[in-house]
Structure 1
Amino acid sequence: MFIYCYAGGCDVLRKLMGLTLVCLASFAAGCSSGSSEVKVEGTVMFMNTPVESGEIIFMPEDGKSPNVATRIEQGKYSLVASPGLNRVSITAYREIPGKFDNSNPGQPTPMTEMYIPPQFNSNTTLKVTVDAAQPTLDFPLGSS
């Protein structure tokens, strides 16, 4: 690509390029990782056993920051959450041995149940403080 300069044309081009750079710098600053989000990870156990598969949700108490959720796999999770006090909801389902949904003829589907008690999800009492100084948050649910 060739740019030709003619009387006054280069000056206009320089101003346009300068404005473009200012806009790009402003955009980059707004999208930088200057936010105070914190990477959090940990384990989720239920009755001293890792939660094989489930979901964990961090809900900031300030109501201004968005909720964040991620999968729990083999008892482990990792996500980026807002700092400060967060309510936490944990859900997990498991198959009910010997029970099937037969509503689709010829294709029995194993039935599942939510096995994490409501005080850890729909009526959660779990609260944690998310802080970069403490990036590991473990949840030993229902353990003795």
Structure 2
Amino acid sequence: MKIDAQIRVIMLLVCGMFLFDGCSSGPDDVPETGTVTGTVTLDGAPLEEALVQFQPESGRISSGTTDAEGKYELDYTGTLKGAKIGTHKVSITTFKAPEENLETKEAQKQLPKEKVPAQYNKDTTLTAEVNAGENTIDFDLQSK
């Protein structure tokens, strides 16, 4: 009887070790990241409510939205701040997709205009290098 109880305890301990080992580490597919913050200005003025996206050569996009002072902080996932280490193509836009289907031309005319020139979003020429640790990357955009 005593040996049976010892075997059960040992089996429980072994199972517990495997269980805790699986919970202790993050996903294996998360690359090394660096935190990224900065300020976006357009013609010298802070650019509010702009979506800032960093696209690495391969992997997940990191993004953040500017506040009233033009400051942003990138999120890699819902719980992880930053961006993958390496070179990124950067896109900055103020366009927001409509929440409803706009079928009439009149409704389409009422959409807010993009404030940021195409060279900074759909035809972007912006790049940035993300390093390990903290990165401050500012963008001073020009409308002309």
Return the TM-score normalized by structure 1: 0.73
Of 78, 88, 92 in structure 2, the residue corresponding to residue 90 of structure 1 is: 92
More helix by percentage: 2
Structure whose CA Rg is larger: 1
- Counterpart Cα distance in 2 of 1:19 and 1:134: 39
Give the structure 2 partner of residue 119 of structure 1. 119
Name the TM-score, length of structure 2 as normaliser.
0.73
Q: Any gaps of 5 or more consecutive residues in structure 2?
A: 75-81, 97-104
CA shift for structure 1 position 130:
0.4
Take 2:33 and 2:138, find their aligned partners in 1: how far apart are those partners?
18
Change (3 A) 1:35 1:59: closer
Richer in strand (by share) = 1
Alpha-carbon distance in structure 2 between the residues aligned to 1:44 and 1:55: 10
Could you tell me how far apart the structure 1 residues matched to 2:111 and 2:143 are? 26
- 1:68–1:81 contact (8 Å) kept in structure 2: yes
RMSD: 2.8
Mark the runs of 5 or more structure 1 residues left unpaired by the alignment: 95-100, 104-108
**Deviation per residue, 1:24-82 (Å, 9 max, x gap):** 224313449x9521110000011111101110111001x1x211111111200012100
